Amino acid sequence: MPTETNKPNLFLLGAPKCGTTSMIYYMSQHPEIFMSPEKEPHYFNTDSGHRYYFDLDSYLSLFDEASQEHSYRCEGSVWYLYSEVAVQNILAFHPDAKFIIMLREPSSMYFSLHQELLYGGSENEASPKTAWDLQALRKDGKRIPLGCSDPRLLQYGDACSLGAQVKRALNYIPKEQLHLIFIDDLKNDADAAFLKLQAFLGVTPVSLDSYDVVNKKKVRKSYMLSQFLIAATQLKKRLGIKGGLGLANAINKKNVAHDVSLTHEDSAEMIPMLKAYFQKDVALLEQLSGRDLSHWKSNA
């Protein structure tokens, strides 16, 4: 059962590939903030197949090491913002909880998200253009990769429409309980962005010695090998076989190249189309945030 010290009261809702991992690391350095040792428990997005914790006691155990010195017990599950029910579930659990949303220009977010899902096995199409074009088929349940935990993650147009997601969140979250962080600010002056967050939380201001980027881009050296291992894991689960994946895990770790971006000739050609696609959503986010986002818009 929730207690005063193990009940989370601060939630980083997302969005994915918007600097969330770096911000979680920065917050973990603050003496008044306890960060869940599991970065993305995904407990409250009960409408999604992308979840890792399913019962309250197991979820709360993530915060057992928190103490009275911690004003905040925080977790960051990046698909909460995309979920249609996570925010309501959190507020039913803790009405006074505070929320952080991190934001990014959607066309650049798309390329990073596609690469991340490809790395994790939810995506199996290496071409960003082909993956984008497959959205209609996949919405009908076709061409879904075997390793995809939730086909809605592959609806990139919806996943990267952050204006619509913020609008939905604001239908439930009082404005004084929500703080928005733009990845542009984190890149330009991470210390200032971090101090602004701390002011919102009302904690003692702390500046870090460095603000290194965490969770840099990574790719699989062989996606065919990656898909084979995913298929083997899925078959193992269906057969009820336990253990025996030590070799597969070792191979999987070797099959990674760090701090690398995928390069595709069609990516640059997609940018004008993506900017046009997201233009109305960017205008909505501009209105909701009061932020000038003209540099995000088409032909800017």
Token duo for residue 116: 């991340």
Q: What is the pLDDT of residues 113-164, one digit of tens each?
A: 999 999 989 999 999 999 999 999 999 999 999 889 899 999 999 999 999 9
pLDDT at site 147: 87
Per-residue pLDDT tens, the chain, 300 aa: give them: 666 778 999 999 999 999 999 999 999 999 999 999 999 999 999 999 999 999 999 999 999 999 999 999 999 999 999 999 999 999 999 999 999 999 999 999 999 999 999 998 999 999 999 999 999 999 999 999 988 989 999 999 999 999 999 999 999 999 999 999 999 999 999 999 999 999 999 999 999 999 988 865 544 445 556 556 665 655 554 455 545 555 545 555 565 555 555 556 678 889 999 999 999 999 999 999 999 999 998 654
CATH number of 10-107+161-215+279-296: 3.40.50.300
Burial class (CB in 10 A: 0-12, 13-18, 19+), 246: exposed
Query: According to the model, what pLDDT value does residue 300 have?
Result: 46
Cα separation of 72 and 34, whole Å? 6
- Give the model confidence (pLDDT) of 24-49 as tens digits: 999 999 999 999 999 999 999 999 99
d(CA 220, CA 247): 17
For residues 208 and 194, is the Cβ–Cβ distance under 8 A? yes
Q: How far is CA 231 from the centre of its chain?
A: 24
Q: Where are the domains of the chain?
A: 10-107+161-215+279-296
Q: pLDDT at position 238, please?
A: 47
